[in-house]
Structure 1
């Protein structure tokens, strides 16, 4: 029997008209445990079996401290030692960005590891899920994530990319591999997929299970964060398209053992990265043959100009997003004779667990 206690929480809910505070009595299950994304040795933040997040911070001179997660701020309470403690409502399973608000200043929680999301380096929390095994660190052969700097004449800079090579890449020196170019979303960057996305572990596990063919994954910054929120119409794809197609792909094909042709090259992205993916593959259909759109753009049959060039269109979403639109679009593609597949992540919204699951499904269909 799980021990319960009644706790009085002051919950600050962000409302359209301003900040609305409500006091409620709720029973909280007292089985909180530190999360796997805590700083080494830090007992907080913690998560319980209900998916509630509890955190603490020492701030004796602060007047007000809040836990800010899921677009809701939760009041924290100070004890006689100046330690503030607070809990959130239950969160969806998977990974979430969060922060603390101390006297009006939003700051990372020093107890968590830092992740780049929401246009900043900040805190992240992992809510346990029944399928977290798909990205678990297991005793299987592991690939490598290489950090490279590639020259970009168009931007007059050296740009960063993370490149995953599958297990055996260093030993099988004559073998060449297909490549997936995998894009992050708005207010994220090239660190997002290898860190909070766990792309390398997802692939290691799939390959060990014999469920996916080995391939290389390339992850770079999509040049998206310079536009203001809501300004998607003002985003010009051409600079990033030049960097990706004319600079990064030739670099990867030169420095890694790739199968450097259209039928062995894929592109996918989440949210705004899906918009980038769709736009680039439409502009340059001779470059990519496999397409993945996670929680964002969708294809209609009349947008696929050369069906013979397209080997796969994969479209996905969280069940709390727009599953009907994804299903309808994909079924229309199938009826038009295009190899297409859809996937809905149950119980999740516009968040990284949706996209981890999407990559897990998409990877099993690639280059078959």
Structure 2
């Protein structure tokens, strides 16, 4: 008995020692970002052997700002004050862009995943976590196109689990170019905005379904031959419309049926809304205009369809404006004056106006950013399903 015990004890001790020896030495604790009460922000990055570290925070006016190295290799810089909001940032270390390893909050994206810094306002913003009853976020997988598995994030409103017979309207909210199914949740704070609006009595309790909009990338990811998809950021590529159609087919044939089978969703066009940002806004408009029997509420965040595409593929929208206005309970278009899609969106609005198609518009300052997306959500969520 005892020899076996000592043998076991010795092996355990040797394993523990080898595990400890195998671990890399831990560096000094780095706190980053540090948001000060005066809205200035200190960023820090540990890189003892780096020759140069720059702060890459263009969306809060700090693009390529040099950082200073201390005696133990921690680079730092303080900028601001910064207007309260949630901003992406990163570091350029000897020319290579990296995330902030001291920060657990990041921007979900197909490409570079920026870190996020939240500069709080004196009074809690609508997208902030507040002392209200909260809904639930669920990560779901569903059978998608070509035998692959789709990914989606689903928000259910406060009280959903406590009312097993109650059904809810559904808002299908589509991610932008290179964004993932998590972006409306982690960056747009859609769940917190809705929690706060519902608590204030300003929004109807609803289910929000947030899918990943890039079908081609998902097929490539799960394909055994590793097929590489076309670059989704090329908006005028010949296959842009076909990629939008692939998403539309997946949405209508796979995702909507899955949601209505597995959640207490009201299965009628009057209780379905669809919206999206950037590429997701284009997918929204195409899916809605091509399936007027499926969606009665349509929200386009910083996106548009050209007059040529409207006349070619959706001539019935402007050709029979009275019918369109009767079918759509809401057609909402939002854009920032500094957005690179501003001109095209204004031309789209002018087209609808000329055709006498009713719509609501919202113009703000700023560019093609998720700071503006939160504004669009704040404006549209109270309008849905009223």
TM-score scaled by structure 2?
0.76
RMSD: 2.8
Question: 133, 138, 157: which is aligned to 1:146?
Answer: 138
In structure 2, the residue matched to 1:340 is: 359
Question: 53, 78, 89: which is aligned to 1:65?
Answer: 53
Answer whether contact 1:268 1:274 (CA < 8 A) is retained. yes
Q: Return the index of the structure with the highest Cα Rg.
A: 2
Following superposition, the deviation at residue 89 of structure 1 comes to 6.6
User: Residues of 2 paired with 1:52 and 1:351: CA distance?
Assistant: 21
In structure 2, the residue matched to 1:14 is: none
In structure 2, the residue matched to 1:228 is: 231
Q: Larger strand proportion, structure 1 or 2?
A: 1
1:88-167 paired onto structure 2 within 5 Å: 93-112=84-103, 113-117=105-109, 119-129=111-121, 133-152=125-144, 154-167=145-158
Following superposition, the deviation at residue 50 of structure 1 comes to 7.8
Alignment of 1:252 onto 2:259? yes
Answer whether contact 2:304 2:348 (CA < 8 A) is retained. no
Runs of 5+ unmatched residues, structure 1: 1-40
Q: Larger helix proportion, structure 1 or 2?
A: 2
Answer whether contact 1:51 1:127 (CA < 8 A) is retained. yes
In structure 2, the residue matched to 1:85 is: 76
The structure-2 alpha-carbon separation of the partners of 1:213 and 1:119, relative to structure 1 and needing over 3 Å to count, comes to: same
User: Greater shift after overlay, 123-132 or 243-252?
Assistant: 123-132
Q: Deviations 1:311-333 (Å, cap 9, x if unpaired)?
A: 11111122433768757755774
Following superposition, the deviation at residue 223 of structure 1 comes to 0.7
In structure 1, the residue matched to 2:17 is: none
Query: Any idea what SS the aligned residue of 1:237 has?
Result: helix
Query: Any idea what SS the aligned residue of 1:350 has?
Result: coil
Answer whether contact 1:44 1:54 (CA < 8 A) is retained. yes
User: Greater shift after overlay, 220-229 or 85-94?
Assistant: 85-94
1:1-368 paired onto structure 2 within 5 Å: 43-47=31-35, 53-70=41-58, 72-87=63-78, 93-112=84-103, 113-117=105-109, 119-129=111-121, 133-152=125-144, 154-223=145-214, 226-228=229-231, 230-232=233-235, 233=237, 234-235=239-240, 236-297=243-304, 304=317, 306-307=323-324, 308-321=326-339, 330=349, 333=352, 338-346=357-365, 348-368=366-386
Following superposition, the deviation at residue 96 of structure 1 comes to 2.4
User: Residues of 2 paired with 1:167 and 1:335: CA distance?
Assistant: 42
